[in-house]
A and B are shown apart, each in its own frame.
Chain A
Amino acid sequence: MVQKKSLLFLFIVCGLAVVFFGYYFFFFPSTHETIKVGILHSLTGPLAEYEKPVVNATLLAIEEINNNGGLLGKKLLPIIKDGRSITKYFVEEARNLIIQDKVAVIFGCWESEHRKAVKPIVEHYNSLLFYPVQHEGLEDSPNIVYTSTIPNQQAIPAVTWCLQNLGTSFFLVGSDELFPRATNEILKDTIALFDGTVVAEEYIDDSNVNIEGIVQKIVNLQPKVIINTIIGDNNLEFFKQLRAAGITSEKIPIMSLCIDESDLKKYGIDYMVGDYSAWSHFQSIDRIENKLFVEKIHKKYGHDYTVSDAMEAAYFSVYLWKQAVVKANTINTANVQISLKNQAFDAPEGIIYVDDTTLHTSSVSSIGKIRSDKQFTILWNSVRAIRPMPYPFFKSRKEWDALLEQWFAQWGNKWSKE
């Protein structure tokens, strides 16, 4: 009798244990499962020095999300692929990420050329790409979220600010690539809109570097402002030769659209201090969110680490995607595409959001003046984010596409002259 009672007692205890554990696992599911996310940037080659910090910013956001309980009860697992600074590897690795690794999303690409090459892949497999770099616009895709600035958020405010504060005659100089070409095309129309003049437009390509000639032209034409869209190391030479020719920032100020804090760190400020840059994010922006972001980067990667606009965009890209997934309650691309629309985030630069028609993010526009401590003094900002306008109204979408095709053909079916 007693044994039977003991068995009954044991049975009740086991039953209670089953109920307890069942309850626990039902309401507190395991977080051992993962969601794979792709990071596609150059870890080798000439672009690696620009793209590695962006990878780090992406990884920081992923780590934060994982530390805060993950996403949909799962941890994010970053799969990092090396684009090797070459377009064909970007294409290859994007395909690998989607087909082999089955990632839910890709964060990456650097130059417009890479993005344009990866675009058909993500569209074909209906995947998602978050692109964190400033670009020329003139493009949209339901599979790409453009999280950095386009001309109406960077170049146009920069030029209108110059028109209001520095002068009305402009010298446009840039690298012979898609971003400078397209941006200058837009800027020429903008300057004309405000009755300004473009005294000359010059391009530098690596096969034919004629900076001396350009500087001489500037000396001869004496514009009020130089709009600089030179990409990469040619910047240093350009600034050096300008200073050698006696052109100081007081005499002819330069508004650069491709020089950020990392460039100042790399090139030094001897030739650049006093000139201007336009970005949506500067490390010196006086916002608590920005200070926290910079602090996090410094804590993780060292106090010498420079925080750039692309890093900030890469960081909040991950959060925008996370929020969209939470809203959709799935990582399915079709659902996330819908929930991404109007998704907002209190980014270091200010509150930004994904435009529901173009999938470009709105961006706060800021003008900064280069300081001797390799940072920028913010002279103007738009207070609120400016909405994206990928196809400026100067031309129809068809006309812009035709112009792009023309350049593509002109550069031998490539997106740059190199």
Chain B
Amino acid sequence: MVKRIKKIPLFMQLPFYLLVIAITVLSIWYLYLHHSLIPSTEKHLQKIAYATENAIQSYLKTIEKNARFFAEQQQTKNFMTTLTSLDSEIKQQEKNYDAFIISQQETLYFKDILLINLDKKILYATTTKDIVGQPLTNSADSHGFLSQSFDRSIMSLTADFSEYGHDPLFKNPTLFITVPIIIDNKIKGVLAYECDVQKIASFTQNYTGLGETGEIVLAQQSGSFILFVAPSRHDNDLAFKRIKLFSKNPPAIQQSVLGKQGIGTALDYRTVPVVAAWTFITKINWGMIVKIDQAEVLHPLYFIIKLLLLCFVFLIVWAIFIERIYHEHISQHFVWFNNLSVIKKIPPTIKNCFFFLFLISCALLLKTACSFYYHSKAIVNEETLNIIKDIKNGAAEIDTILKKITFISQSIADDLRFNRLSKDDIAKRIKRDLTENNAILGITIAFAPYKYDPEKKLYAPTVNKTNNIYQETMLEDLYDYTLTDSQHSTSWYHKAIQLGSVWLSPEKHGTEKHSLEKIIPAAYAMAFFDSNKELQGVIYITYNFSEIERIAAYSSLARKGYSILLSEHNTFLYHPVHSFIFSEKTLIDYAQEIASQSLIDIAHKISQHASLLSTYYVPSDSQPMWIYAQPLTTNNWTLAAIFSKEDISMPVSSIRHNFFLILLYAILSLCFLCAYAFSFKKISLLSCVIMINLFFSIGLIALWRIIQKTPSAQTTDSTVITDQASLDKFLDDLFEESTRKQEEPPIQIPCGLLLYSLDMPKPDEMIVSGYLWTKYDIEKHKNITHKIQLPHAIKLILDTPATSIQQNWETVTWNIRGTIYEKQHYGHFPFDKQQMQITIEHHDIEKNIILTPDLEDYKKISPEETPGLDKHFTLSEFNIERAFFNYKRIEPVTNYGFTQYGKTTDHYQLIYNLIITRGLLSPFILYFLPLLVILFSLFSVLVIAKRTTEPLSIITPYTGLFFALVLLHRSLREQYSTGTTLYIEYAFFFAYVTIILLVIHTVLVYLYPHWNYYQHKIFPLAKLIFWPLQLVAWLITTFIIFY
């Protein structure tokens, strides 16, 4: 080839050599960067991470030294002695100590110094004097981090760093170092040194070497959350935002808060792919991540790819240029390759480029199909295993709680049997067991008649714990537990004697969470005997069942999935629908209710207490449901998960991508096969084109079908409420966040909606009618206005409400009619999907109110069963897909003039969502069919027209069809006026371009009758490629828009 090129003038050869050198250099450069860019960035970031960590560590060392300095100072010791001895000179001493502390503030970097005595009472504070005299809070709810640090410091006699978080006393986030104060070999208290966290955060605000997107983020583990502790470059409000630990796509910071060091590529808190280095800051247990966006790191690679593409384009242009100008057939330079003996032996049927293209397409098709199959199977398996693991862990957790209870009763029984527990010490012993076990609410040791004392019939000391207050009673004074009493449930005594031991389920009443009350708490009763195996009595332990409910409810299941806890008799101890619990419905009852024979069989197997993974079918649902049941080892309860395979399979977007690729490779394979057959004259050119048209048409229809079946995912920052469990979980998190911010507990107002009609007259408006109701507790909510508002309503008519009172609740119901602003997105028309949202707010926005979906008032709450829609509700052009409530997180932009506005509840809006998909019949008849007719007409004119036909007689029908097309397009635009281009509009654009090309073609044929190449080659070809070009354009557009 080079030899042949040498025939071309040198100045024309030069670009070829330069391009070859450029491509070689760029390729090597690309390969080098591809393997070195991320590792070198990781190392660079790691150095920054270590340097920042070292800087923070040395600062922590310094402040720890400062804290020790204060604790060891004679002034501190003297003042502490004065404070603890109630000396009359406290005031004078305080002044002196104030002066001493303030003189040190500049050099020793503290924010506040506290002196706390051994009773955890604050005796002195430098800057926040109003907390003096108050005890440190120890409640787990209020995050008594200072109290915990105090305990560690006192119990280990070591300086300790507290956890960083909102302190209920300071009403601010605080970080303390606690140091024991020892005076004359006696411990007197603790000095708490409040650190300046801003100073620590300032180490992370140096972005040198971090490019344009790099930043350093600090976070700590806070329960089951990752809590960010400082603002970042990308988010000034990042401090105190939280994300769930061990989420599905965990951010890189998760590694660091769990004490790990490392480097790698991962997602960050914004879910942006980043290159990162993470480390752990000991002493304060913070995680730190230094990161740069992957896009910035890989930017040089993209640049090289662009350069490479440019070089290739130049090379092709150069080759075409040489071919045309110098008549040098570049392809002929590869003749030597065909002359190779090895190549010569290959039969020409195989040595065909279409055959190779066919093989490549088939290989890609096979590879994509196989990888899709195995990948989706692996995802389902992995997700199933995760659910099994969750349920097993949940069962193990519940078992641990129950085992503790059995252990306590067993050890009391053993101690009584072997006389290790004297009868005088019983109350003391019960109290100790109650202190040591938070889950236990009360213990009764009920002696059998005359077993405690031959002269006393009954003896049953009882200690109950309520809010850490112990109440001692004698049960026999209340009722005779040996008798069957209708008023007092004494079944525990008799069942324990009969069975040895028995687990008693909690008995509840009420239909909804806020009125669900426990009449009888969950309990365990065990008979105990003396060394001669003679019955002595029954140990009766009541325990807190809510922890077990929490474990059962919070299994991380998919959208349709939920967990249940079954008793030994198969009744629901926990179910997201609470009415199942209080009505003591069994799994078999439920299975019979939904007429699922397979679930009945499973329920029977579960009652035999075997762990199982099985599927069952609900006649009303096409999808099979899966159930995994794990029996507990302590008693015969079973924890089970019920989930749909659809929800644990590959994400819909990935399924669509894979289907698109499979279809693309299949169409290509078939087209190349046709071309291959044509190249060996097995089929005519016309047959080949018809077949290709057929494949393209089928492909296009298949693409539309895939689009319909795989709707694009909704990505909104919201919490979807599908059942009571998801609502409880949201509320728990909300209450936790609210407590953390030192706010009053949110007021829950149940709220419901029923829509009778919905219409969308304009692209940004919807007209709705229906009912809206709220429920108010007559006692607790008397200061709350009974009014609701729809903030997005343009026009709203709320009729005079109807009110009804039931038990302690007042229900206020409004008939609503109005127009609500709702932007509709027509970009994918006619394959568009609309999410109609009705935002509901309570009138008293200044109050700490959170509206909660009144799920109990809907018969069915699964989104697929469209709660909130009247049973006759229909939409003419749309199919209703789902309806559900969700909470959207918002950042208020104003306080509406209320200084109190901006509380946790103000960051969440309750939204009723209706997901609708467009029916295809109307768009097909109104737009697609006429468009096809126009295209067929154009094609007919093209086919009929001959070289000799008068051009004006051809152009006239083109013009007429153009006007028809314009009118059709105009009517489409009028109906769906939007700022974006509709998907169907691309077909109109292609039709316009086709008309222009046809007119040009007609003119060329008429004006250049002697241009043989055009007259004999292009003229017939135009007829052949008309439809393939149309269909390819549609296919490519569909692929690009919906991929």
Contacts and interface: CB of A to CB of B under 8 A. Distances in A.
Real binding pair? yes
B429 A250 contact: yes
A161 B282 CA distance: 26
Interface in B441-465: none
Nearest to A273: B411
A156 B156 contact: yes
Interface stretch (A43-51, A61-69, A187-195, A408-416): A187-195
A274 B420 CA distance: 10
A5 B420 contact: no
Given A250-B425, A274-B411, A351-B258, A344 B282 contact: yes
A248 B282 CA distance: 42
A2 B414 contact: no
B893 interface: no
B53 interface: yes
B792 interface: no
Interface stretch (B158-166, B292-300, B795-803): B158-166
Contact of B407 (A5, A9, A343, A373): A373
Given A157-B155, A288-B393, A346-B260, A384 B411 contact: no
Interface residues of A, number: 55
B337 to A, nearest CB: 8
Given A323-B261, A393-B157, A273 B414 contact: yes
Interface string A350-378: 01110010000010010001011100010
A325 to B, nearest CB: 12
A365 B156 contact: yes
Interface stretch (B180-188, B758-766, B845-853): B180-188
Nearest to A186: B157
A112 B154 CA distance: 27
Given A152-B157, A371-B407, A384 B285 contact: yes
Interface in B137-196: 148, 151-152, 154-160, 163, 182, 185-187
B341 interface: yes
A382 B156 contact: yes
A345 interface: yes
Contacts of B57: 342, 356
A365 B155 contact: yes
Nearest to A193: B187
Interface in B51-68: 53, 57
Nearest to B336: A5
Contacts of B163: 384
Nearest to B118: A194
B258 A327 contact: no
A389 B157 contact: yes
Given A274-B415, A393-B157, A382 B151 contact: yes
A5 B156 CA distance: 82
Q: Name the prevailing secondary structure of the A interface residues.
A: mixed
Contact of A342 (B154, B282, B436): B282
Q: Name the prevailing secondary structure of the B interface residues.
A: helix
B407 A377 contact: yes
A127 B912 CA distance: 67
Given A189-B185, A351-B258, A386 B341 contact: no
B404 A377 contact: yes
A132 B543 CA distance: 39
Contact of A351 (B53, B187, B280): B280
A161 B261 contact: no
Name the residue in B158, B404, B425, B436 with the highest tally of chain A Cβ atoms < 10 Å from its Cβ: B158
A351 B221 CA distance: 11
Contacts of A286: 397, 400
Contact of B148 (A192, A343, A383, A392): A383
A152 B158 contact: yes
Contacts of B436: 369, 377, 379
B396 interface: yes
B340 interface: yes
B259 interface: yes
A226 to B, nearest CB: 16
Given A273-B411, A373-B407, A384 B339 contact: no
Nearest to A343: B261
B155 A27 contact: no
B283 A387 contact: yes
A342 B60 CA distance: 12
B182 A393 contact: yes
Interface string B412-450: 001100001110010001000000110000000000000
Contacts, number: 131
A333 interface: no
B406 to A, nearest CB: 9
B160 A386 contact: yes
B407 A382 contact: no
Contacts of A250: 415, 420-422, 425, 429
B259 A387 contact: no
Interface string A282-294: 0000101001000
B410 interface: yes
B35 interface: yes
Contact of B259 (A161, A291, A345, A371): A345
B155 A156 contact: yes
Interface in A187-218: 189-190, 192-195
A85 interface: no
A160 interface: yes
B261 A2 contact: no
Nearest to A190: B157
A156 B187 CA distance: 13
Contacts of B340: 2, 5-6, 9
Nearest to B64: A387
Contacts of A382: 151-152, 155-156
Name the residue in A161, A372, A392 with the highest tally of chain B Cβ atoms < 10 Å from its Cβ: A372
A369 B429 CA distance: 14
Name the residue in A194, A344, A389, A392 with the highest tally of chain B Cβ atoms < 10 Å from its Cβ: A344
Name the residue in B152, B160, B260 with the highest tally of chain A Cβ atoms < 10 Å from its Cβ: B152
A58 interface: no
Contact of A344 (B259, B336, B342, B404): B259
A291 B154 CA distance: 30
Contacts of B148: 383-384
A387 B261 contact: no
Contacts of A156: 155-157
Contacts of B185: 189, 192-193, 394
A168 interface: no
A141 interface: no
Interface string A261-293: 000000000000110000000000010100100
A342 to B, nearest CB: 5
A241 interface: no
Contacts of A372: 407, 410-411, 414
B286 to A, nearest CB: 11
Contacts of B282: 342, 344, 353, 356, 362
Contacts of B400: 286
Contacts of A27: 35
Nearest to B257: A351
A310 to B, nearest CB: 20
A249 interface: yes
Nearest to B46: A327
16 contacts: A5-B337, A27-B35, A152-B157, A157-B155, A193-B187, A250-B420, A323-B261, A327-B50, A342-B53, A345-B260, A365-B156, A372-B407, A384-B160, A387-B160, A389-B157, A393-B157
Given A273-B411, A346-B260, A377-B404, 8 more contacts: A2-B339, A192-B186, A323-B261, A344-B280, A373-B407, A377-B436, A382-B155, A387-B159
Interface of A: 2, 5-6, 9, 23, 27, 152-153, 156-157, 160-161, 189-190, 192-195, 248-250, 273-274, 286, 288, 291, 323, 326-327, 342-346, 351-353, 356, 362, 365, 369, 371-373, 377, 379, 382-384, 386-387, 389, 392-394
What are the nearest 8 A-B pairs in CB distance?
A353-B282, A351-B259, A344-B259, A248-B420, A344-B280, A157-B155, A346-B259, A160-B155
